[in-house]
Amino acid sequence: MPVRKAEAVWEGGLRAGKGVMKLESQAFQGPYSFPSRFEEGEGTNPEELIAAAHAGCFSMALAVALEREGFPPKRVSTEARVHLEMVEGRATITRIELLTEAEVPGISPEKFQEIAQAAKEGCPVSRALAGVKEISLEARLL
């Protein structure tokens, strides 16, 4: 399997400094700073990129799990919310909420929930982020 890469360059100190993150694929490049990470400033931040990775990974994991169970989805849409909070004086990702909606013909709500929970546990990004104390899932069948 391929190795994926991204790069970040930071210039200056914490509060006055600034940086740029970019993907090897060149599909994304964005500035980040103290305000964009710890306040509501313009630019991106590592947590937003983790959220994008988790949402994308989970959507794909759920789609394949549904398909394997005989319920190919029409659509899976996921929002990931990564919470960065201070814990013992250190910025910490404390929880991630996955909110997903899926159009899946012919599936019962109970079976959908069962498959969605298994996909959350098996998603490679969920597994990589297993150190996060809480990864919750709210799955809605449309």
Rounded-to-integer distance, Cα 88 and Cα 91, Å: 8
128/76 same-domain check: yes
Residues 6+ apart with CB under 8 A from 88: none
* Same-domain pairing of 85 and 111: yes
Q: Is residue 1 part of a domain?
A: no
| Structure confidence by residue, pLDDT tens digits, 76-130 | 999 999 999 999 999 999 999 999 999 999 999 999 999 999 999 999 999 999 8
Same domain, 15 and 50: no
Indicate if 16 and 71 belong to the same structural domain: no
Q: Give the pLDDT confidence of 1-26 residue by residue, as tens digits.
A: 899 999 999 999 999 999 999 999 99
Do 68 and 136 reside in the same domain of the chain? yes
- The whole domain housing 52 covers 46-141
* pLDDT of 72: 98
CATH of the domain at 131: 3.30.300.20
pLDDT of residue 80: 98
Per-residue confidence (pLDDT) for residue 1, from 0 to 100: 87
